[in-house]
Amino acid sequence: EDQVTQSPEALRLQEGESSSLNCSYTVSGLRGLFWYRQDPGKGPEFLFTLYSAGEEKEKERLKATLTKKESFLHITAPKPEDSATYLCAVRPGAGKSTFGDGTTLTVKP
Amino acid sequence: ETGVTQSPTHLIKTRGQQVTLRCSSQSGHNTVSWYQQALGQGPQFIFQYYREEENGRGNFPPRFSGLQFPNYSSELNVNALELDDSALYLCASSSIEQEGYTFGSGTRLTVV
């Protein structure tokens, strides 16, 4: 069975304090690993897709990386507007994605 | 792009009742997936529809059923509601060209 574990569950940072979120996964053949951002009361918003180990994607202050067992979401010099829950998901093939429970990031000014 | 629209946004039902949730997928997307998200947890896969056929299902009982229409909009039906069905129900659309989901804002269902 596919599994996704995200850590830490919650992360509090000061504005400008860089850090990383972890997503560990086990999957029977990875078709893609996805990162989403979810604000309270809203649906997840797609950020990145990573397909193979060694791949990296960047968007503003966020950079996602992928190895054979885990993915990291690096946040450089975060701002309060980066506060949200970040979800990681894996898709083994056609069909469902399996999500982790997310990391809730709070960035204090 | 029109995005994914879900209705209603909030709903309160009594245990044992039936509910229908609706979703209009993003223009150009032919695949619709439904997820259940309990508070503080990640979304759990319910099922997926492609070209009006169910082509994947998660660990949910048969009282969870769905439909996809020719315009790719979709419905989620839940019969015999239980208290544990209280959750945020998310609709997500996708296409071959865009493998990441576009999610709607969800329907918050409360069963009392």
pLDDT tens digit string along B87-105? Answer: 999 999 988 766 789 999 9
Q: Residue A81 pLDDT > 80, yes or no? A: yes
Do A35 and A88 form a contact (C-beta atoms < 8 A)? yes
> Which residues from B are below 8 Å from A34, CB to CB?
99-101
Q: Which residues of A touch B103 (CB under 8 A)?
A: 36, 43-46
User: Is residue A93 pLDDT above 80, yes or no?
Assistant: no
What local confidence, expressed as pLDDT, does residue A90 receive?
A: 94
Question: Does the pLDDT value for residue A95 go beyond 80?
Answer: no
Q: Is the pLDDT of residue B1 over 80?
A: no
Please tell me the predicted confidence (pLDDT) of residue B10: 97
Residue B42 is nearest to which of A41, A42, A102, comparing CB atoms? A102
Contacts of B48 in chain A (CB under 8 A): 95-96
Contact (CB, 8 A) for B31 and B49: yes
**Residues B7-43: tens digit of each pLDDT:** 999 999 999 999 999 999 988 888 999 999 999 999 9
Interchain contact B89–A (C-beta under 8 A): no
Q: Are A43 and A59 in contact (CB under 8 A)?
A: no
The answer to whether A95 and A2 have CB atoms below 8 angstroms apart is no
Contact B104, B5 (CB under 8 A): yes
Q: Would the CB atoms of A101 and B40 count as touching at under 8 Å?
A: yes
Contact criterion met (CB < 8 Å) for B45 and A101: no
pLDDT (tens digit per residue) in A14-46: 999 999 999 999 988 888 999 999 999 899 999
Do the beta carbons of residue B85 and residue B79 sit within 8 Å? no
Which whole number is the average pLDDT over B37-50? 95
